[in-house]
Chain A
Amino acid sequence: MDEIDKKIINALQNGFPICDAPYQQVAGQLNLTEQELLARLTILLDNGTLTRFGPLYNAELMGGALTLAAVKAPHDRFDELTDIINSFPEVAHNYARNHELNMWFVLATDAPEQIAQTIMAIEQKTGLTVYNMPKIKEYFVNLKLEA
């Protein structure tokens, strides 16, 4: 990743135009050619520096539901419990964290009532209590990290 890549990553976190030739427009602002921008963007996505490039949707406004949930996974069962929980397609993200509640996952479903059903199914399959912490209010969401 060089200075030009950093410039591209920073610029593209601030939005992207909706017009006939948007890459050409962005390339012009960055003093690059359209082909160079597209080539570098392809590499940044292929090597995982960028996890995604495109529209980011708000699931709740489309009728879907999200929640953040956590379990206390005993260390001797951690891998087994990871496999069980990850096997649910509703589990979008799952992170190990340094706390007694040591496994935190996001559930994303097409409809709100499926959240409770999924949590019940996870509790049955794991034998653990799932701590369900759906958001009550969103104060801010915007992930921008300077490269």
Chain B
Amino acid sequence: MMVDETDRKIIQATQAGLPLTTQPYQTLADQLALTAEEIMQRLSAMKNSGIIRRIGAVPNHYKLGYRFNGMTVWNIVDEMIDELGQKVGQLDFVSHCYQRPRKLPEWPYNLFAMVHGKSQDEVDLQIRKISELLSDNNLGCDVLYSTKILKKTGFRSAMQHATD
């Protein structure tokens, strides 16, 4: 699953995004002195291996009206975390779901799930649904809302990050 030099050039050339031209892969090929066929074949291979998660658009939450972006964090019984993490991740309103280490004593939470809503009520309902799903295996939870974006780099946003 390793990327070679040519793949890296393609990744570099698409850091800022895909060209907005009628034949974007041909445009990339012209920039890199490759053929469009090779660009398309390599992008397909990287997509199949998971190096490319997807090709598509990333909206700004706030501009679409999603002003309530909550990082919900849960203290889950260790034996149950994989099973429950999968289930929480499958909820259609959860955009990211990870197991992370506790930082005891002050941070007992080991499951992180990001939720997004246009109102506080909407997010509260989402949190209630997660809570119901976790039931007795949830030993405690908290919700951290982002109050300000302090930094968001264009360059590195080509990598899909944990707190989007």
Contacts and interface: CB of A to CB of B under 8 A. Distances in A.
A63 B112 CA distance: 24
B151 A94 contact: yes
A31 interface: no
A120 interface: no
B145 A98 contact: yes
Contact of A108 (B110, B154, B159): B159
Given A49-B64, A93-B163, A104-B144, A135 B17 contact: no
B105 interface: no
B24 A23 contact: yes
Contacts of B89: 139-140
A97 B55 contact: no
B150 A103 contact: yes
Interface string A97-121: 1111101111010000000000000
Interface string B126-162: 0000000000000000101111111111101111111
B147 A16 contact: no
Contact of A139 (B58, B61, B86): B86
B123 interface: no
Contacts of B66: 145
A94 B150 contact: yes
Interface of B: 1-3, 11, 14, 16-18, 20-26, 36, 40, 43-44, 46-47, 49-61, 63-64, 66, 71, 82, 85-86, 88-90, 94-101, 103, 106-107, 110, 112, 116, 142, 144-154, 156-164
A75 interface: no
Contacts, number: 251
Interface string A114-147: 0000000000000000010111111111111111
Residue picked from A63, A100, A106, A147, most chain B C-beta under 10 Å: A106
Nearest to B94: A140
Interface residues of A, number: 74
Contacts of A91: 151
Contacts of B52: 55-58
Given A53-B20, A138-B97, 8 more contacts: A23-B24, A55-B11, A55-B46, A61-B1, A92-B161, A97-B71, A108-B159, A140-B97
Interface in A31-88: 34, 38, 41-42, 44-45, 47-59, 61-64, 66, 68, 82, 85-86
A48 B159 contact: no
Contacts of A95: 146-150, 163
Contacts of A82: 150-151
A57 B56 contact: no
B55 A137 contact: no
